[in-house]
Structure 1
Amino acid sequence: MTSVKNNSIFKKLGALVMALSLTCAMAVSASAAETADVSGEYTVAFLKEGTTTASMAQDAVNGNATVSENADGSVTILIPIKPIEDYRPMGFLWAADGFIQGLTVSDGTAVLQNIVGDQVRYDSADLVITLPAMPSDGKLSAVTASLKLFYANSATEYPLVSQMDPTFDIQLTKVA
């Protein structure tokens, strides 16, 4: 009878140890998920502010973004961009070529780098955004771009609307 009680106690202790081990394992994996490295390749969507509809600025995206997590937890987002060609500003009959000249991002900085071509009319560039942390949903809200417009295939600035500042959201989705 004593051996049956001992076996029962050992079974209960074994179950308790197993339960504690599983609890610890789940806590460690949850902690790891919270601090997972966000570095990697992301698809980029420039969306009309507050919607899931593509913004006209989407035409400037020239491939996937690369996100790098820095040692201090901040992130650097590199988005390759190109000119927006044959854009029809505000429904005009004439087409324009648009060039992003700068970007304003809440709580971060944005600069154009690696410009190929003239500083104003370029063939390609990298938009580099630095943020204190990666947004948990991958969304940068209310981003404002400074956009320069020229007549299509011309060095002549579009009169009256040569400078536009559209506001949009940037949605980053990690590539699996």
Structure 2
Amino acid sequence: MNRVELYINMSDLKITSLNVKGLNHVIKRQKILTLFKKEKCHIAFLQETHLTDLEHIKVHRNLVGQVFHSSFKYHSQGVAILLHRSLPFTLDKAISDKEGLYVLISGYLFGEHILLGCIYAPSTYESAFFHKLLADISDFSSSYILIGGDFNCISNPTVDQCPSRPFSSRKSLKLVDFAQI
């Protein structure tokens, strides 16, 4: 670690969100951690890790200072938040859902209370998902909220699709509602 990284502040944070489609292979894990190191990433949100609770610990290498995760059975789904070891983050509270779809953590970063969330939304529409997620988010009280992830839908079909579509799916409408909260 070089000295410059010790003096980062909130506005200098480098944040990455990736759907990794599985981290079961040691070479793939190493390539992703090397990418984060090369890009000087401070916070990484990973979706579809496909790791068990025990295997998430393997991600805890020289770049990573703290790992927060939610796992699911049978090497499917799974999310993780990786925090660089130079970040002065102090955990206050964490919530992990049992299906490996999201992890929410709150704590103090640079003296500010912050909520970090990594989300991997179901690929099919499930009305209860956003309700449960919002209920869990409402359990936190933070000055700043930073959420990354894969919502498995688009927010604006006229801009985000080619050819564009004049209507939004139910899932897209829920995503827009969620983003406005």
TM range (shorter): under 0.3
| Greater strand share, structure number | 1
| Greater helix share, structure number | 2
Larger of the two Rg values belongs to structure? 1
Give the alignment's TM-score, normalised by structure 1.
0.21
* Relative contact order higher in (CA < 8 Å, ≥ 6 apart): 1
